[in-house]
Chains A and B, each alone.
Chain A
Amino acid sequence: MQLKANDIGFRYENGPWLFRGVNLCIEPGEVVGIAGPSGRGKTTLCRILSSYETPLEGSVTFNDAPLPDKGYHPVQMVLQHPEKAVNSRWKMHSILNEGYHPDEELLEILGIEQEWLTRWPHELSGGELQRFCVARALGPNTRFLIADEMTTMLDAITQAQIWQAVMEIAQKREMGIIVVTHEAKLMQRLCDRVIEL
């Protein structure tokens, strides 16, 4: 059930290579950090690992096979800005249930209140919205979660709440996590190992 990147390289159009020959292997239940200066391609790498982008060189494999191109994707990504990741014309319950139906227990662990479900996205704060984005990504078939600056925009208490919930769920399900953050202290707290890009 490993997620593997084999010698991948990427560039936008005819621009310079963002990265080449990147290798990465993550085991289930492992928490791996990706660090590197801004503009180095951390987000692009995450997008490739979750099939939002196709690498120009190399390949990504899940369980030694190519990533599936239909059905539920085993690698789910949570982005930095939740307000850009939800449909502003949908109410929260539709957003939450788009991919699957999260159970009460998950909502409780993540601190999502029933009363929020009938609101529009603009009526929730960034921290509240991000909880929905996390819940949405934690379907029963998610094997790897990519947290790309997931709590960067949130205050310390909300950050600790969300990470505590995610780590608990990951441990229970043997789910692997990739953490992208610039906060060295957070990286230290969460990750088993860190890869420099």
Chain B
Amino acid sequence: MSILEVNHLSVSFKQYTAGLKQSHHKVISDLNVNLEAGEILAVVGASGSGKSLLAHAILGILPANASVSGVMTYEGEELTPARQKALRGKEIALVPQSVNYLDPLMKVGKQVRTSVQTGDAVQAQRRVFERFRLGREVERMYPFQLSGGMARRTLLSTAMVSGAKVIIADEPTPGLDPVVIKEALSHFREFANQGCAVMLITHDIESALQIADKIAVFYAGTTVEIAKAEDFAGQGEAIRHPYSKALWRALPQNDFVPITGSQPHPSALPPGCLFAPRCAMATPECLQAQPEMRPLRDGMVRCIHAT
């Protein structure tokens, strides 16, 4: 059963360019993802492809100049702004990407305790700190006294003690050493095995593959492929979309060879397929219209040439 469904989500930002002149930047377009109970969905893709914005849209914490369309449901009911407010931090928890999300004026132990909903908050905080190898002295420190990795483990702790049913983890692993990454990932796996759901937003495909059930690949604000984790193997023969293939090949453990160019800016999206300007397979039809997501070999792909 899907705990969380996102259908045809679009997000655009209103900006003032000069004086009262406004421009709208569409940063997410026609995006679909489902989170199933007991499952970990990894969301991978280019930086700036809208991965964090998806997380913020689900929680209803986008800035005021954003407008959202499409339908999101949680446990079968529509996620309205009021419901988002009631659920966030309780049923749906976020591990934010930036370590700037910590309160700079509160000791970190106390920050973690504020998100405990039932039971002894101090005990819960100490247990989770121990798990993440944060010493007893850390709970009395302020965020500026922590290293990058320690701050990230504090953010992880906050979500872990919340007792939420859905965890959305936005890049929880960068800057952490392998031991702590393993600990965090196994925590996510246990969490999912208890019937909860995890959305793991990351560009660390290697770590994601160790624990994820499904992989969603984002490019320029939309999903280009949804695949089973097993498809990402070898030379990437089982991968469907040309962008996903390029991403796989660019990993240091694979070929470490990049494709040229960069992801289009939201103010200058190409007319047809968003990846066409960088795609070796592109034909004139690709420039006609943005392809729809279609089922292919037990997954989904947004490409007319994918086989």
Contacts and interface: CB of A to CB of B under 8 A. Distances in A.
A164 B253 CA distance: 15
Contact of A157 (B98, B175, B250): B250
B189 interface: no
A156 B203 contact: yes
Contact of B178 (A125, A153, A184): A184
A157 B48 contact: no
Given A43-B147, A128-B262, A153 B252 contact: no
Most buried by A among B171, B253, B258: B258
| Most interface-central of B47, B49, B98, B246 (chain A CB within 10 A) | B47
Contacts of B150: 38-39
Interface residues of A, number: 35
A149 B258 contact: no
Nearest to B177: A37
Contact of A188 (B177, B181, B247, B252): B252
Given A156-B251, A161-B258, A80 B175 contact: yes
Contacts, number: 107
A182 B175 contact: yes
Nearest to B179: A37
B48 A156 contact: no
Given A38-B148, A38-B175, A125-B263, A185 B47 contact: no
Nearest to A84: B100
Nearest to A13: B145
Contacts of B166: none
A38 B132 CA distance: 12
Interface of A: 36-39, 43, 80-81, 111, 113, 123, 125-128, 149, 152-161, 163-164, 182-186, 188-190
